[in-house]
């Protein structure tokens, strides 16, 4: 059964407390929080204070996705408010050292790759990951169309993890709907980041149920 990690970026922040309650009731598995700095990606979102507020109002695990330049500089701050803490392979941090630091701080470590990055580029780091996030859109903005090329990367990462006998979650983010979710799960994804598709649903509980049943 697929796990669901709705992207909070799509929510109305003035109604965030009630949205969190809706998702708890809907049975999602974690909450995906996209941190953007306007440097690594051409957009700015939020930082530690908002994630801290979210954490204070929900028992759901926090899945923090850092889309920031040289994220190793901020790992300690974000680790205090996260359960899963992920950063980009392309962001200019020492990859192995940053993954190990995240684990040392008590978080599950996630390594993220952009659409242009081949799966093979991160194979050597898989033993230090608890989760890998494959972007199926260009990071930075919501509402983009799903890139089918991401499915092959999911398949390759899954195969390599099995070859190395690793217990690894594979997350996919971008353009997830009923059709693409089905393809992603078939390819080997275990965690689906859903944004507009879930937030725009009249019955979020039913929508989450449909996706998790894949």
Task: Calculate the alpha carbon distances from 143 to 9, 17, 41, 78, 93 in Å.
Answer: 11, 23, 15, 26, 28
- Of the listed 29, 37, 130, 173, which one is catalytic? 173
Strands of the sheet containing 131-135, edge to edge, are 3-4, 191-193, 169-173, 131-135, 108-113, 84-88, 62-67, 31-36
Burial tier of 117 (Cβ tally within 10 Å: 0-12, 13-18, 19+): middle
For the record, the structure tokens of 159 come out as: 């195969």
- Of the listed 29, 34, 63, 130, which one is catalytic? 34
How many CA within 13 A on the CB side of residue 207? 20
First and final C-alpha spacing in the chain: 6
> Is 130 one of the annotated active-site residues of the chain?
no
> Is 34 one of the annotated active-site residues of the chain?
yes
- 97, 103, 104, 105: CA torsion to nearest 10: 110
**Which positions are annotated as active-site residues?**
34, 173
């Amino acid at each position: 059964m697929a796990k669901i990690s709705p992207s909070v970026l799509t929510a109305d922040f003035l109604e965030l407390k009630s949205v969190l309650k809706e998702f708890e009731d809907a049975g999602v598995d974690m909450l995906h929080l996209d941190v953007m700095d306007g440097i690594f990606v051409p957009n700015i979102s939020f930082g530690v204070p908002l994630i801290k507020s979210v954490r204070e109002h929900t028992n759901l695990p926090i899945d923090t996705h850092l889309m920031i330049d040289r994220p190793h500089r901020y790992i300690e701050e974000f680790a205090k408010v996260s359960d899963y803490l992920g950063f980009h392979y392309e962001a200019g941090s020492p990859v192995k050292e940053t993954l190990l630091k995240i684990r040392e701080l008590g978080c599950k470590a996630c390594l993220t790759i952009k659409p242009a990055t081949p799966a093979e580029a991160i194979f050597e780091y898989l033993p230090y990951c608890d989760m890998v996030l494959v972007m199926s859109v260009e990071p930075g903005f919501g509402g983009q169309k799903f890139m089918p090329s991401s499915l092959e990367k999911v398949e390759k990462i899954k195969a390599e993890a099995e070859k190395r006998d690793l217990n690894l979650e594979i997350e996919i983010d971008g353009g997830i709907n009923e059709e693409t979710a089905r393809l992603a799960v078939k390819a080997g994804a275990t965690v689906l980041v859903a944004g507009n598709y879930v937030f725009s649903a009249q019955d979020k509980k039913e929508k989450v149920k449909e996706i998790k049943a894949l």
